[in-house]
Structure 1
Amino acid sequence: MEKKQLIDRINTQFKGNLNSQNTSYSGINKAKAVWWFNIHVSKFEDDVHLLLDNTDHVLWITLPKSFVSNLQGTFKIREDKNAVDLEISADSKLLYLRDRKSGGTGFDFRGFVRDKIGF
């Protein structure tokens, strides 16, 4: 399922408020088992939604505004893009749903999973 279709389904089925500006989507990277995102720092001034595609389902993660007190101290920031650089582990046996990006703190996203959406 593509990003726009997922956003439409979530907004209809779960009465969500997702749109292309506040929502980022990733499939599992082919080189290593992670969902990879670059999200501009300014987007964290509001809620951020992540859609993690896992072939037979999608995990919907909601990061509320101010979910961490120090964005720069919690995540690796790509200075060239002024973006939060995330690699969220898709490996169920190794740091599942934790940020694996070098320079990050291993932030655990499990507490922010809003729903698991099957296909």
Structure 2
Amino acid sequence: MKKAEAIQIARDNGIHLSSQNTTFASINLAKNVWWINIPKNRLHNERYILLDNKSELIVCYIPGGSLNEKDFRIKGGKQIDIELSSSKYSFLIDVKSGGSKINFSGFVVAKLAIK
């Protein structure tokens, strides 16, 4: 699935988002994670994260200012580097080395079936 298709599925289900405020990731089955990079300058604005796990699209809504860049590994000085676990024992927890193990499950606003 591509980002544009994921955005359309979310919109079709009443979630109002745009390409500019949305980050998309497909699951990496080799490591059971979703890799996400968010530009530091966008962390203070509202953000949607769309996670494709092949059977459903998990929609996370991050209110502006609710995350602190100090809690994450910074990639290249410009991007927040997040690695969300898809394992059932650490589901949606940032397991990236250097991160603070933030649990993103509280940001989930929808789980949408993928047809």
> Is TM more than 0.5 here?
yes
Mapped partners of 2:43, 2:58: distance in 1: 19
- Determine helix, strand or coil for the equivalent of 2:109: strand
Structure 2 contact 43–69 (Cα < 8 Å) conserved: no
Q: Tell me which stretches of 4 or more aligned residues in structure 1 moved more than 6 Å.
A: none
- What is the total number of aligned residue pairs between the two structures? 114
Structure 2 match to 1:9: 9
Mapped partners of 1:53, 1:13: distance in 2: 15
1:107 has 2:106 as partner: no
- Determine helix, strand or coil for the equivalent of 2:43: helix
1:91 has 2:87 as partner: yes
Structure 1 contact 40–81 (Cα < 8 Å) conserved: no
Unaligned runs of 5+ in 1: none
Equivalent pairs: percent with the same residue? 33
TM-score by length of 2: 0.91
Mapped partners of 1:61, 1:42: distance in 2: 19
- Offset at 1:15? 4.1
Mapped partners of 2:102, 2:56: distance in 1: 22
Mapped partners of 2:91, 2:45: distance in 1: 25
TM-score by length of 1: 0.88
Unaligned runs of 5+ in 2: none
Indicate the RMSD between aligned Cα atoms, in angstroms. Answer: 1.4
- Offset at 1:83? 0.3
Q: How does 1:1-119 map to 2 (within 5 A)?
A: 1-16=1-16, 18-68=17-67, 71-78=68-75, 80-93=76-89, 95-119=90-114
